[in-house]
Structure 1
């Protein structure tokens, strides 16, 4: 690499983007890679604090920052991802469609252990919308030894994909609403519409809602009816606490479901129940799902809608980061809720 006074660089071609920061107004590339420096550029360059220009002298085995970023992004990206850039040496990765973001965070750590390479992502296992920026990658210097890029590519090959967006399935949802007070129409059901709205956000539709008394056998038969009618996921609402009249967990067991977890290390959502009948998820949703913006529902259900089998260990991991702070204005998923259980 040669260093020239800016006054002597007229006619030279920039090998990298040059950033200009105007406090409170803008930050971006004033001069792009490949720009031929003109005499009239000199005052602006000096105002940017650029009294010298770096002229790249490539040697065999060197890879420019732009090429390196493109190669690393392509090696790491799986389905549902599109690229933008490189800009100032960085390639950004965004989602092509709404879906479940999956990041192999252990392999990501391997990549970031490679000197002079970096790859940053959002947290794994969260629902993201279309055109969401989910990752960015670049190298630290202007050029890097190609062997280092090849190491990154090999890590990606072995652990492919490092990052992907799983499409959500358009599932049919069945709801069993329990409680004598609702069954006998003493009060209006407020839970069902909330569940329907939350599943609609995920591209799913409710095919049927059954109202049941606080009777374990009736709850079990309602679950079986929804399975027979083609429900892909069944939710039961109400009756999930420890009161004597709360028999929903017993009804789920009587339906033949295999209980994976009754209870979750999340607040709100501690009384959540996860079970399966022939790989069909049967959920017991605590009352907090009805009146809290974001709960255990938002941490687990998107994974189910993407076709994943959620295990007991997946639930256990939610404890680290499982406390919602109840912000006055909910910022989820741009907060720590559900983001800590990566180990």
Structure 2
């Protein structure tokens, strides 16, 4: 790539290095534009004798084609690439869902000195059409050998698929209605934002056998199970974890390094995800439930290691997360 100052006639087919304006300050040609015979006629009409251009080498790709190439090698499912302009290709969500970012691949992509790839945060909820990533090529043109060859799904958007939610109320019979009134309204509001809803409810006392039977019943009719109770699960020997075992399920993780919401429990019953919600589910302020629900409804259940990684940024209350 060479930088040259030349008469407009010699600039046809090459890239404008700067905005080119007339003597009144009106822009005639935008920076990065590949000059055409029509542009040259206008420049001479404006009495512009010299222009600054970039001459790309034969093996170089202009910034827009390079941006589109990098974007195509960056995207996974659930996204679409907008037409590149000014060396930038934006990536948008095809549908509502959860953004998943391969952070290691993202960092690796940004080691290339000719490009940047920026995304929104991993795990965030997005709506259809929302911009989730952007590729920017830094120079006017990029050597072919600097462009990625292998495809890596740096960014993808998972749709919400587990829409039928079964709720199990656990506690003394006399507390059922109070638990419903305090826990269900915030939960229903959260679910509505994720295109899901409570479609079935069960209630039982805090006994493993009763909880196991209720969970099996819910698992036969629902895509996601959530238990609500007066107290959070303090340990895996308590009634709710024992009920998961009685139902033939498994526990993925008890406890999350997230405040509010340390006392959550995640597991599954017959391949249906299960969340034993902590007490903070009653609150509408952001808490661990807001991290878990989108992932569960998108059928992207975090494993124990993924939940442990939430420790970095896990203080949610009063922080810009």
TM-score w.r.t. length of structure 2: 0.83
Name the residue aligned to 1:262. 254
State which drifts further: 164-173 or 311-320.
164-173
Instruction: Tell me the secondary structure at the aligned position of residue 113 of structure 2.
Output: coil
Match of 1:224 among 216, 229, 245: 216
Using the TM superposition, give the Cα deviation of residue 182 of structure 1 relative to its aligned residue in structure 2, in angstroms.
Answer: 5.6
Cα distance in 1 for residues equivalent to 2:32 and 2:301 = 47
Q: Does 1:65 align with 2:63?
A: yes
SS at match of 1:218: helix
- Map residues 202-221 of structure 1 onto 2, 5 A cutoff: 202-221=194-213
More displaced 10-residue stretch of structure 1: 193-202 or 280-289: 193-202
1:18 Cα shift? Answer: 5.4
Query: How is 1:225-264 mapped onto 2 (pairs within 5 angstroms)?
Result: 225-228=217-220, 230-238=221-229, 239-242=231-234, 247-264=239-256
| Corresponding position: 1:153 with 2:149 | yes
Please tell me whether the aligned partners of residues 171 and 204 of structure 2 are also in contact (alpha carbons under 8 angstroms): yes
Match of 1:316 in 2: 308
Report the more deviating stretch, 206-215 or 140-149. 206-215
Shift of 1:206: 1.8
Q: Which residue does 1:284 correspond to in 2? A: 276
The answer as to whether partners of 1:76 and 1:163 remain within 8 angstroms in 2 is: yes
| Matched position secondary structure for 1:318 | helix
**Offset at 1:293?**
2.5
* 1:271-321 superposed Cα distances (whole Å, 9 cap, x missing partner): 101111222112110111221322112212222222223211111111111
Partner of 1:142: 140
> d(CA) in 2 for partners of 1:182 and 1:107?
53
Provide the rounded CA distance (Å) in 2 between the counterparts of 1:241 and 1:139.
50
**Which residues of 2 match residues 30-179 of structure 1 at below 5 A?**
33-34=33-34, 36=39, 38-39=42-43, 53-149=51-147, 152-154=148-150, 156=151, 160-179=152-171
1:11-53 CA-to-partner distances (Å, cap 9, x unmatched) read: 9556258579xxxxxxxx956724615349979x9xxxxx974
Structure 1 pair 326–253 and aligned structure 2 pair: CA distance change class (3 A): farther
- Aligned equivalents of 1:223, 1:191: Cα separation in 2: 18
Q: What's the Cα RMSD here? A: 3.1
2:308 aligns to what SS in structure 1? helix
- Mapped to 1, the partners of 2:90 and 2:308 lie a distance apart of 33
Counterpart in 1 of 2:25?
none
Q: State the number of aligned residues.
A: 304
Q: Secondary structure at the match of 1:289?
A: helix
State the TM-score, normalized to the length of structure 1: 0.78
Moved more, 209-218 or 271-280: 209-218
Mapped contact 2:233–2:264 kept (Cα < 8 A): no
Question: Bigger shift: 177-186 or 108-117?
Answer: 177-186
